A = this chain, B = another copy of it.
């Protein structure tokens, strides 16, 4: 569970709706008419479908999980684990890692250890793992592109909805007092477009981008570590090369494996 996403959504929508309530707005007024929803949601999702092929949409939706979930490991855990594996390999030989190649929690470590145990050459392992990393990044980029595109389209559809409201309202000015509530409704479209873009879509794109770039960094640590294991380097050097000390300092903590969950984002 990504706690900042949850708190952020509650804080954002909570603040906006509470503020609206504070200045005397009634919630029923926001939903008593279907028209702004039809225009903004119809136009917004329609534009999304025209923009992205089905394959990109699937990738993008599968990247949404990044927004809500939290990885159970962090850089420091990974570095320590790789150092442990290196120690085991140096003591009992590379073949002793066969068990880990099946049971390790991290997909990339598992795949990489299998290749190392199989005795594949360094360059090929590097290529295969790098390509695997890239394909995962590509999926997440699809999510970033989708939410950024929606962040641009929805406010425009909001303006479009408000303008369309004005077009139908202004055709009859005979009852000035009746204009207010109608114009009020027309503004709901702008609020929907701007609100969803800035509270949901643009932030979602940002979070996917931030998590992908961190995952990429961790994957690079893993690839570098696995190649060091294959090369038979000793655990201390691996920790040094992967900057364990600096990371601990930057994270302001000593690594405690038991505290991995909070540590994941520490």
Give A residues with C-beta under 8 Å from B: 2-5, 7-16, 18-20, 22-26, 29-30, 33-39, 41-43, 45-59, 67, 128, 131-132, 135, 139, 149, 152-153, 155-157, 159-161, 163-174, 176-177, 179-191, 194-195, 197-200, 202-204, 206-207, 210-211, 214, 240, 243, 246-247, 250, 252, 265-266
Contact = CB atoms under 8 A, between A and B. Distances in A.
Given A167-B184, A171-B180, 11 more contacts: A9-B46, A9-B50, A22-B38, A29-B171, A50-B67, A52-B206, A58-B252, A149-B206, A157-B198, A163-B191, A167-B191
Q: Which of A49, A189, A210 has the most CB of B within 10 A?
A: A49
Contacts of A182: 23
Nearest to A9: B50
Contact of A210 (B53, B139, B194): B53
Contacts of A252: 58
Contacts of A135: 243, 246-247, 250
Q: Indicate how many identical chains form the complex.
A: 5
A217 to B, nearest CB: 9
A266 B19 CA distance: 44
Contacts of A186: 23
